[in-house]
Structure 1
Amino acid sequence: MPILSIFEKMFLRSLSQKFNSPYIKNIKNYATTAKQQPEPSVYMVFNREMKRIQRDRASMDVENSRQVDYLKDEVAYRIVDRLLDIKRKFNTIVDLGSGCGHIIKHVDKDMMKRLMMCDMSSKMLERDRFVDYDVEVERIVVDEESLPFEENSLEAVLSNLSLHWVNDLLGTMIQIRKSLKPDGVFIASMFGGDTLFELRTSMQLAELEREGGISPRVSPMTEVRDVGSLLSRAGFTLTTIDIDDITVNFPSMFELMNDLRTMGENNAVLTRRPFLKRDTMISASAIYQELYGNSESIPATFQIIYMIGWKPDISQPKPLTRGSGQTSLKEIFEGDKGGKVDN
């Protein structure tokens, strides 16, 4: 706060007497009050409303939308394969960010009685509403950043390639953990940091050449090294993380971008430019072909991060207390060095 001179103090005092002191008090405290305004606790990266609109539009063309289910269907199959490792039959499982229904294609009534499909886009939820499945299906419009489930109410939560559009990923994970029953499981997949690195590089080089700068044309992705920390901070235990790289070949960059748009996976970054110049697009396509392509196609790499976390429960295995071991590791290693191998 600046130090007021004696003349400034006399001036403020005279104004206070003339115009009523609360007015002067408000003037003096204006800067302090502005600094005390609550700031958002989460840095907003994605425009969630724009993402909802994109997903609504993507699902309206039903035939084309079904043709680009190949990637999410494949990853959903791999999530269900991990669910099968859990020797337990569930009553109800929540599919968070279900889209048009990818996990539901790979489950049966031997695994669960009901699948609760939750997505922010009502049109995506309703695309395949007349398709018959082996398990009971319930569809609910849910924003992943604000879950409606009661605490300790869910047996399991699955999420297939949806959480990479969430601004507060840690907050969503905490909500999921709270909604799970003790010893409930959370299994999810999301795009990792190396996803579409070919497209990102080509777009950046083209914009730098044609427009003298770059803009976020491919959304930022979570790095695999951060996922374990997020799960632990959210309160999950017995965490497991692994990754897959899925490469899909396209005739050119334009077919890739068309498929991403039809999937509802086009750019929704808040700071994105609203349009892309034609010559920049042509330049990016040529760079893509030159750097990564061959005579027939171009590759697009999708890095998939899989994560499993459990809500803590007393029934779960715990590490033994320090010093309780009965076997010396030194003796084991010395035995391996000096031992003989029988043929």
Structure 2
Amino acid sequence: MNSVEAAPEIFDRTLLARRRARAAPRVQEVAPILDAAAEILLDRLDDTTRRFTRALDLGGRGAVAPRLAARGIPFVVSMDLAAPMAARAGGMPLAADEEWLPFAPHSFDLIVASLSLHMVNDLPGALVQLRQALAPDGLFLASLPGLGTLQPLREALAAAESETRGGISPRVSPFPELRDLAALLQRAGFALPVADQDRLSLEWRTPMALVADLRAAGETNAIRARDSRTPPRALFPRAFAGLPLRHEAPLLVMTGWAPHDSQPKPARPGSATTRLADALGAVEHKAGDRAG
């Protein structure tokens, strides 16, 4: 019998759901950041003439569903891990887990996940489920904070904890690298997969304002390996001393389509009708020949 290796559980999803629920009444405090990320992601819709009628807003926290409705999409479901956050998102609310989607195949022709998949333990498995929930020729759009996001905060906390405790524990989430995302889309069965990178310009008045924004977004530390002990009194003052308050955060964007017969197909090997040498105006040599 074949065994399937379970994905490592990096994040405590139960804790994340509680923090998302607690953050729901304050999520408007980070609306400018969520709105900026949603605008960057939804700009990709301008690159297609496809018209969508059934959309899933996955974790948009009020920044995505209203923009989809403004584009004339008549049916939008807003799903979030926490029911209070889903209720504020702007679409038909649904509390559910991205790792266990409750949708029948072909339920949507558009799925948008804005800043909502970076704390999923099994991202490859979630992408497979999302592709299955799309109708043929349906579009998937997602953005994730990329490697380097909150790096100044990560380094400051690590240095301060090393000084005060003689060791470090994870206090900022790990983030994916751009080079991995297109391969993940292809592995999940998406057609025409594309991964690219944009930037979010972030600025805070004080270090505590940065922390407040993380709490309001439901983005505080949910790593299972986190240190649950009370931190030393000096940890945060030492970490925040001299912390840069302006940050260019990498925003990774994934685009993929559910396969359909109408989509462009790669040419068969050997089917080309024009030689590359002719196109370049060069002389073609057989293998083993010496130039000149």
Same fold (TM over 0.5): yes
Deviation at 1:182, TM superposition (A): 1.4
Residue 285 of structure 2 aligns with which residue? none
Give the gaps of 5 or more residues in structure 2: 283-292
Q: Relative contact order (alpha carbons < 8 A, sep ≥ 6): 1 or 2 greater?
A: 2
User: Which of the numbers 225, 228, 243 marks the counterpart of 1:271?
Assistant: 225
Residue 28 of structure 2 aligns with which residue? 66
* C-alpha contact (below 8 Å) 2:11/2:223 kept by paired residues: yes
User: Which of the numbers 255, 259, 263 marks the counterpart of 1:312?
Assistant: 259
> CA offsets, 1:155-211, max 9 Å, x none?
111101000010010100000111111111111111111111111111111111111
2:292 matches 1:330: no
Q: Aligned to 2:78, what secondary structure does the other structure show?
A: strand
Q: CA–CA distance in 2 between the matches of 1:110 and 1:213?
A: 51
Distance 1:128 1:97, change over 3 A: closer
Q: Aligned to 2:234, what secondary structure does the other structure show?
A: helix
2:243 matches 1:281: no
Q: Aligned to 2:195, what secondary structure does the other structure show?
A: strand
Give the gaps of 5 or more residues in structure 1: 1-35, 130-136, 336-343
Q: CA–CA distance in 1 between the matches of 2:148 and 2:17?
A: 24
Q: CA–CA distance in 2 between the matches of 1:76 and 1:159?
A: 9
Q: CA–CA distance in 2 between the matches of 1:203 and 1:118?
A: 33
So what's the TM-score if we normalise by structure 1?
0.77
Q: Aligned to 2:156, what secondary structure does the other structure show?
A: helix
2:172 matches 1:218: yes
Which one has a bigger Cα radius of gyration? 1
* C-alpha contact (below 8 Å) 1:97/1:144 kept by paired residues: no
* C-alpha contact (below 8 Å) 1:239/1:310 kept by paired residues: yes
User: Which of the numbers 116, 130, 147 marks the counterpart of 2:77?
Assistant: 116
Counterpart residue type for residue 117 of structure 1: S
* C-alpha contact (below 8 Å) 1:89/1:110 kept by paired residues: no
Q: CA–CA distance in 1 between the matches of 2:40 and 2:188?
A: 24
Name whichever of 263-272 and 83-92 sits farther off: 83-92
> CA offsets, 1:88-124, max 9 Å, x none?
221110111232x111232345541111111111111
Q: CA–CA distance in 2 between the matches of 1:165 and 1:110?
A: 29
So what's the TM-score if we normalise by structure 2?
0.90
Distance 1:225 1:110, change over 3 A: closer
Q: Aligned to 2:100, what secondary structure does the other structure show?
A: coil
Q: CA–CA distance in 2 between the matches of 1:145 and 1:67?
A: 27
> CA offsets, 1:33-83, max 9 Å, x none?
xxx9x896110000001111111111134xxx3121111111111222112
Distance 1:173 1:39, change over 3 A: closer
What percentage of aligned pairs have identical amino acids? 36
Q: CA–CA distance in 2 between the matches of 1:189 and 1:110?
A: 19
User: Which of the numbers 11, 16, 19 marks the counterpart of 1:54?
Assistant: 19
Q: CA–CA distance in 2 between the matches of 1:80 and 1:47?
A: 29
From the two aligned structures, give the one with the greater helix fraction. 1
Deviation at 1:326, TM superposition (A): 2.1
Q: Aligned to 2:54, what secondary structure does the other structure show?
A: strand
* C-alpha contact (below 8 Å) 1:92/1:115 kept by paired residues: yes
Residue 113 of structure 2 aligns with which residue? 159
Distance 1:88 1:216, change over 3 A: same
